[in-house]
């Protein structure tokens, strides 16, 4: 075990530009996860009912503080997805490195331990940095948590690297399982994913109907649970839709498309249709929540304005709504960063093929358009399904409130997210120009 940690320490200190890029992003993700977890513990550790001169009294009572802490904990989901994307940066390079370790006598289990220890060491640096920044903020604000809270802080600093290491090992399981440089190719699906996607959509509709037709009496206590099931089911259905639509679009456009960029994108989608699903999982779930939140926010603000609360009381509600909206925006930003990292890794992995295409005379604009179409084509139907699930949530809430106001702005959220995804994918275009240089063929 000591030898594995020593090797992991040497690998974590690698000086290559790609390794520095990966370790920096991984440490940043661990720092963010640590910050969210420490903030949640600080909020939940405030004793009883107090008077805090922040957030218009939203932190004064235990009930509201529990909601804020839950929102902070839920932000760990997109952060962990981001760490998984960071772990895949340079996966091909590490596949060759893994081959060297296996040929030197390392077992598959030992390689997994080294990969996990390497990620844990990088994440520990980010976690300790986050704890230091958080301690400075506590000193500036003058807040002194209880000793039990400090013990929880120490547990977070240790648990975040361990959890991030587990996510990294899971993300690299295919790289580690092929230690001798063999890249497995999977044939496109024959429609099973599409059928399963349709079944999940049918379950979504059934759950939505149950939510809308729920009795107003004792069954009202089940509404939060049904909303949670609806959101998770919609996210799962949208995730399956990405893979199924990628396989279907890839097969159809490979035979029918005439534009070269569409042909290149279709071939890539048909080759690995589930790559997009792995990248967009957290993003689709955030879209469902974003559409639902935007609609609920509009209905709730209309209801509060109609009741004509005093400014002080109204600020209590609007502050809570704004904090929830900020959490959704932060989760969306983290998910978009994960998508950008995944797009860059996809381009870097195919550098030899891109260089060969450029040497054969394919214009750079065609390669750039194909890269963007890889994101745009399979993501569009999944975002529409995610928007439908979020719309069901806020329409059901509007029916329960019964004030007659139904906002239409949330219906534009999936289109805005789709545009943001294209912008995130476009961040890989400078790297595309560099790796598609025919001179890169010298290194293949």
Question: Tens-of-pLDDT digits for all 444 residues of the chain?
Answer: 677 777 777 776 765 666 677 788 888 888 988 999 998 888 888 887 766 666 666 677 777 777 788 788 888 888 887 887 777 665 555 666 666 777 777 776 777 777 778 888 888 999 999 999 999 988 887 778 888 889 999 999 999 888 888 877 776 665 554 544 444 444 444 445 555 555 665 566 566 556 555 544 444 455 566 666 677 777 777 777 787 788 888 888 888 888 888 888 888 888 877 776 767 877 888 898 889 889 888 888 887 777 665 555 677 677 778 888 888 898 899 889 888 888 888 888 788 888 888 888 889 899 999 999 988 988 888 898 888 888 888 887 787 777 677 888 888 999 999 999 999 999 999 988 888 888 777 655
Sign for the CA dihedral angle at 10, 13, 16, 17 comes to positive
Task: Supply the pLDDT for residue 443.
Answer: 57
Give residue 412's pLDDT: 92
Q: Could you tell me which residues come within 8 angstroms of residue 37 by beta carbon, excluding any fewer than 6 positions away?
A: 72, 73, 76, 156, 160
- In this predicted structure, what is the pLDDT of residue 298? 87
Would you state the structure tokens that stand for residue 111, as one six-digit string? 């390689």
3-state secondary structure of 428: coil
Question: Which residues, in sequence order, are CB contacts of 322 under 8 Å at separation 6+?
Answer: none
Measured at the CA of 250, the angle between CA 263 and CA 345, to 5 degrees, comes to 80
Alpha-carbon distance of 390 to 290, in angstroms, equals 7
How far is residue 29's CA from residue 87's CA, in Å, rounded to a whole number?
11
CA distance 276 to 342: 9
Q: Where are the domains of the chain?
A: 2-176, 192-443
How much is the pLDDT for 16? 61
Q: Which of 219, 273, 34, 230 is nearest to 130 (CA)?
A: 34
pLDDT number for residue 63:
74
Q: What is the pLDDT of residue 171?
A: 67
Here the contacts of 227-233 (C-beta below 8 Å, separation 24 or greater) are 227/292, 227/393, 227/396, 230/204, 230/389, 230/392, 230/393, 231/285, 231/288, 231/289, 231/292, 231/389, 231/390, 231/393, 232/285, 233/200, 233/203, 233/204, 233/207, 233/389
Distance between CA atoms of residues 364 and 367, nearest Å: 5
Give the pTM: 0.77
The closest of 270, 254, 187, 234 to 394, measured between CA atoms, is: 234
Angle at the Cα of 375 (from 374 to 379), degrees rounded to 5? 120
Q: What's the pLDDT at 200?
A: 60
**Alpha-carbon distances, residue 365 vs 42, 184, 249 (angstroms):** 50, 30, 22
């Amino acid at each position: 075990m000591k030898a594995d940690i020593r090797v992991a320490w040497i690998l974590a200190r690698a000086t290559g530009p790609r390794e520095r890029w990966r370790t920096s992003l991984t440490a940043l993700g661990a720092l963010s996860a640590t910050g969210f977890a420490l903030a949640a513990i600080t909020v939940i550790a405030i004793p009883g009912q107090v008077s805090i001169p922040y957030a218009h009294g939203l932190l004064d009572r235990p009930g509201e503080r529990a909601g804020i802490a839950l929102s902070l904990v839920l932000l760990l989901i997109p952060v962990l997805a981001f760490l998984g994307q960071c772990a895949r940066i340079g996966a091909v390079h590490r596949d060759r490195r893994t081959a060297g370790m296996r040929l030197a006598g390392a077992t598959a289990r030992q390689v997994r331990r080294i990969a996990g220890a390497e990620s844990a060491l990088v994440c520990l640096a980010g976690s300790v940095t986050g704890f230091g920044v958080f301690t400075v903020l506590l000193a500036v604000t003058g807040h002194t948590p209880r000793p039990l809270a400090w013990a929880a802080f120490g547990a977070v600093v240790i648990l975040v690297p361990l959890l991030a290491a587990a996510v990294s090992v899971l993300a690299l399981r295919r790289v580690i399982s092929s230690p001798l440089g063999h890249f497995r190719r999977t044939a496109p699906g024959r429609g099973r994913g599409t059928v399963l996607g349709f079944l999940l959509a049918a379950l979504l509709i059934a759950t939505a109907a149950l939510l809308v037709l729920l009795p107003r009496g004792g069954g009202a206590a089940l509404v939060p649970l049904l909303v949670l099931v609806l959101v998770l089911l919609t996210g799962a259905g949208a995730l399956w839709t990405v893979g199924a639509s990628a396989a279907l679009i890839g097969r159809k456009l490979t035979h029918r498309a005439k534009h070269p960029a569409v042909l290149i994108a279709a071939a890539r989608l048909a080759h690995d249709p589930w790559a997009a699903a792995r990248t967009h999982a957290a993003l689709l779930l955030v879209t469902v929540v974003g559409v639902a939140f935007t609609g609920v926010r509009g209905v709730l603000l209309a209801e509060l304005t109609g009741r004509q609360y005093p400014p002080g009381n109204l600020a209590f509600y609007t502050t809570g709504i704004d904090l929830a909206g900020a959490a959704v925006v932060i989760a969306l930003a983290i998910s978009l960063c994960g998508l950008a990292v995944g797009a860059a890794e996809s381009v870097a992995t195919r550098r030899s093929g891109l260089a060969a295409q450029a040497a054969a005379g394919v214009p750079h604009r065609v390669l750039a358009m194909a890269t963007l179409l890889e994101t745009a084509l399979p993501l569009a139907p999944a975002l529409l399904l995610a928007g439908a699930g979020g719309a069901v949530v806020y329409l059901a809430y509007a029916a329960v409130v019964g004030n007659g106001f139904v906002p239409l702005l949330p219906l534009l959220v999936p289109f805005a997210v789709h545009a943001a995804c294209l912008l995130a994918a476009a961040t890989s275009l400078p790297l595309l120009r560099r790796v598609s240089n025919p001179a890169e063929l010298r290194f293949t």
